[in-house]
Amino acid sequence: MIFDTVSSLGPWTWLIVGLLLLVGEAVVPGVFLMWFGIAGVVIGGLSLLPFADVAWWPWQVQLVAFGVLSLVLVFVGNRLFPSNSKDDEASKMNDPLAKFVGRDALVSEAIENGVGRVKLGDTVWRVRGADAAAGAKVRVVAVEEQTLIVEPIA
């Protein structure tokens, strides 16, 4: 039944699929379906060219062309519009410890053998870093696995 519908629509199938993928891109977060939608629209447009002889363009060739064009568009799109989600400030919003990077703190429990505790705000946090006595000032330089990484302030 689906195959009959697709074959009866002919090249319009690619335009419909491409537009549905573009609509899906608007609904689904991220930038992924857009490249496939553009590839579908391009293949549909090429199939509908009134002046082009598409006798050599059976559905198998169209499917391969769609796959190749999709891969090319995904590759080029990711190069032109790179995702910096790991470095993006917005990604720190969901990491409660990331807001402490760059802040100074006082060591509340001495850092011995690289492990200790500091007080930031009204909470005591586990830290890793160079050994330091209680009361020493340290700066948070990173966060790893729910542990603050600190270095002493001279």
- Structure tokens belonging to residue 40: 């579908």
Any domain includes 85 = no
pLDDT in the model for residue 13: 82
- Which pTM value belongs to this model? 0.50
Range of the domain at 35: 2-80
Q: Which amino acid is at 45?
A: G
Is 106:118 a contact under the CB 8 Å cutoff? yes
Residues 76 and 106 in one domain: no
The whole-number average pLDDT for the span 80-87 is 65
Question: Tell me: the pLDDT tens digits for 37-67?
Answer: 999 899 888 887 766 666 667 778 888 999 9
Query: Could you give phi then psi for residue 148, rounded to 5 degrees?
Result: -80, 135
Going by C-alpha positions, the residue among 49, 27, 48 that lies closest to residue 37 is 27
Same domain, yes or no, for 99 and 144? Answer: yes
State whether 58 and 100 are in the same domain: no
Examine the fold and report which residue of 33, 55, 80 is the final residue of a domain before the chain moves on: 80
The last residue of a domain, from among 33, 50, 80: 80
Phi then psi for residue 107, to 5 deg, are -70, 125
Query: What is the Rg, in whole angstroms, of the alpha carbon atoms belonging to the chain?
Result: 28
Nearest Cα neighbor of 135 from 104, 103, 110 is 110
Same domain, 108 and 148: yes
DSSP annotation of 89: G
Tell me the per-residue pLDDT of 90-129, one tens digit each, with 9 for 90 and over: 555 667 777 888 889 889 999 999 899 998 888 888 999 9
Report how far residue 40's alpha carbon sits from residue 63's, in angstroms, rounded to the nearest whole number.
10
Judge whether 152 and 138 are in contact, CB under 8 Å: yes
Dist. CA 103–CA 80, nearest whole Å: 35
pLDDT in the model for residue 86:
54
pLDDT for 17 equals: 86
**Where is the domain boundary, 51, 80, 109?**
80
